[in-house]
A = this chain, B = another copy of it.
């Protein structure tokens, strides 16, 4: 039984935001099954850009897909955050030893982390106290070859299983789109300053009413060789330790004078 607490193999929870059929999650599942017992709960359809949305206005459905020795697979009609909550509470009825999310088709470096369903699942795991890692590949094409990711994923997962992560911290791992032999190594990075320069494509539907499609390109606005963007551009794997305390402790001191007593 995959949930057997007496097993010596770690219990690993796998999810993503590109949906259960995406090549990225299939590769991640393959690698995780070599390391531990695996439970998968992933969205039944692509959920890119859902960020940390949770489903509270409509019911959630869970669909059983596979049960093999040391392996269970489900999909869900909700978001990545829903998948984690359902996985922990309904499917496993416990917390796993590790949560991995991805491999995302497209990078989640810099401010893209804010829109990312892949990383929302990772935050969800971290908030539950589970060591959690998001993996993203710097190529948006669903057909992109991800072979170079496999050894990196295994190495980082093993590091986290062996050493753990600091409390309240999870990992945002972005992998450059180059062959394995051109990857220069792993860099611990900070989130790069950057912005999505966006616009809307304005169109008319067949009865003449306007509608809009969001389109945008990412523009790096900061510099420095300690960022995730720098690492990707220079063929390093970018590992950003991220936290879910969003307080700007620096700004707290600056704004102290705003305090009033009634």
Which chain A residues have a beta carbon within 8 Å of chain B's beta carbons? 46, 48-57, 59-62, 79, 81-82, 85-86, 89-90, 111, 113-115, 120, 123, 127-128, 155-156, 159, 165-166, 168-169, 172, 181, 183-191, 193, 195, 198-200, 202-203, 205, 209-214, 239-252, 254-256, 258-262
Contact = CB atoms under 8 A, between A and B. Distances in A.
Contacts of A56: 48-49, 214
A186 B189 CA distance: 36
A246 B155 CA distance: 24
Contact of A259 (B123, B187, B199): B187
A44 to B, nearest CB: 14
Contacts of A82: 214
Nearest to A48: B56
Contacts of A210: 61-62
22 contacts: A46-B57, A48-B57, A49-B53, A51-B81, A54-B115, A54-B214, A60-B200, A61-B210, A62-B210, A89-B198, A89-B199, A89-B200, A114-B244, A114-B246, A127-B195, A155-B260, A169-B248, A169-B251, A184-B261, A186-B259, A188-B258, A241-B247
Contacts of A46: 57
- 4 tightest A-B contacts by CB? A241-B251, A51-B52, A59-B211, A185-B261
B49 A190 contact: no
A79 B241 CA distance: 28
Contacts of A187: 259
A161 B184 CA distance: 47
Contacts of A50: 51, 53
Contacts of A165: 251
A142 to B, nearest CB: 14
A106 to B, nearest CB: 11
Nearest to A181: B262
A246 B247 contact: no
A51 B198 CA distance: 19
Nearest to A183: B262
A240 B247 contact: yes
A190 B255 CA distance: 12
A114 to B, nearest CB: 5
Task: Choose among A166, A213, A214, A259 the residue with the greatest number of B CB atoms under 10 Å from its CB.
Answer: A214
B247 A242 contact: yes
Given A60-B213, A61-B211, A51 B49 contact: no
A128 B195 contact: yes
Contacts of A248: 166, 168-169, 241-243
